[in-house]
Structure 1
Amino acid sequence: MPHRNAPLTETGRLRLARCIVEDKGPLRRAAERFQVSPTTAQRWADRYRRLGEAGMTDRSSRPHASPRQTQTRTERRIIKVRVLRHWGPARIASLLRLAPSTVHRVLTRYGLARLTHLDRATGRVIRRYKRARRGELVHVDIKKLGNIPDDGGHKVLGRQAGRKTRSGTGYSYLHTAVDDHSRLAYSEIFTDEKKETAVAF
């Protein structure tokens, strides 16, 4: 996927390269037409000459070699401490005398879950259950919300006037149902939370 600020998509690169290579158009004019620098236009034209249409795709920016990458032995020690002690990057870094950013990068590279996603007792990843079909399981919850008086409460009228204004006060009850499979939510507001109202909802 091209960078969101990139002036050329793969199709645009191909058109630019063909304009220079096949149509023999001037490099600077082609660069101006496609709103890129002459250096960029030259790079895409050269790649088109070497690789053809396949050369217009994005390449990985990852270096061919990473001589300063953390050693495998150190990575294993980081992972061992994480698995056995369930520590975060800062504590592991302190124990192994490394930078916390290095430890975090290693944990991310190996796909180790965040501590918040782990069960503290067992260290296993918490798996969220999900039903196979819609409507198989529906979660229902009720939230009690205080009503604001018709002409405003004490935040608008001040404490004394707000206490006198009691019309429209009380509570509303937001009934919400969430389908476990699709996570679709549906809500309605009622004046009470009695069993008859909840069952009807």
Structure 2
Amino acid sequence: MAGHPDAPLTPEGLHRLCERIDAGRPIAHVAAEAGISRRCLAKWYARWCAHGENGLADHSSRAATSPARTAEDVADLIEALRRQTEHRPARLAADLKRLHGITVAPATVHRVLVRRGLNRLRDLDPPSGEQLREVIRYEHDHPGEPVHVDINKFGRIPAGGGWQAHARPWH
């Protein structure tokens, strides 16, 4: 999405502000002239000093790493146990502790099952544990992408509800 070319916080606008600071103007004065906080401009100026032009570009809000994410081998074990036993998350967590010595919270087990599309028993074939239905999900290509939602008021519904709430015909 393209912003206004003279906006203070586009990469070009930030470049102009950083050049003013490089020319010797105090950060507080340049920030006041641009209508932004000193702290915000100091953050962008530090990025400018560290990375140059690339530091002023927009960056994804997605985390670079997820160190607390459940390991894939443990997730595979959770999936295998679910397909074999069809137990719920609390019992699967107890089975993991008892059989494999792995301590995982039931909420974590549930999160893994949701991620793999196994959280609903009705979607699994009882004898084989195979997926019965394809799970249809609305997903974005990249985590952190903004969601677009249209909210329109198509009818003239009076405050307090319409005819269904008050049994009044439309006039």
TM-score (norm 1): 0.44
TM-score (norm 2): 0.50
